[in-house]
Amino acid sequence: MMIVIIVFTVLALDQFSKYLITNNLSLHQSVPVINGIFHITLVHNRGAAFGLLKGQLYLFMLASLGAIILIGLHLKQQRGKRLDLYTFSLTLILAGALGNLIDRAMFGHVIDFLDFRVWPVFNIADSAITVGAILLGWKICIRSSAK
């Protein structure tokens, strides 16, 4: 049940934030929150992370769908077990992949808006994927160093 709550919460925050941004900013419009450090900037990302491989919509959708299915099947096996770091990290990755897949399916691009000026613009789904991947890597390193 906790997995469903986490996925729903991350997905709802991601989609609602994108809805707010797209209804209040025009494409490439930037609003400083902390001038020169953090801005809200509406960008349409037609590629993968950092805009790589632009124009490969169906490849990204297929890869996302594959990851979602594999993670979903794995998490289904975890049902009823305690939510550990491994499961939590996969849950974040699943939620983020779903959020960006929804964008690609509905708009043909991912809506990005968090702009720290020293890093490519990203969104909440990207953040969930990144945090999940870092936690997963950490968990794997802990597990392998314990052997």
* Strand-pair category, 30-34 with 38-45: antiparallel
126 catalytic per annotation: yes
103 included as an active-site residue:
no
Q: What is the DSSP string of 47-65?
A: SSGGGTTTT-HHHHHHHHH
Q: How many residues are listed for the chain in this entry?
A: 147
- CA distances (Å), origin 43, targets 37, 80, 128: 17, 40, 18
Exactly one of 14, 103, 115, 126 is catalytic; name it: 126
Structure tokens at 132: 């999940």
Cβ within 8 Å of residue 4, ≥6 positions away: none
Identify the three-state secondary structure at position 40: strand
Write out the catalytic residue numbers: 112, 126
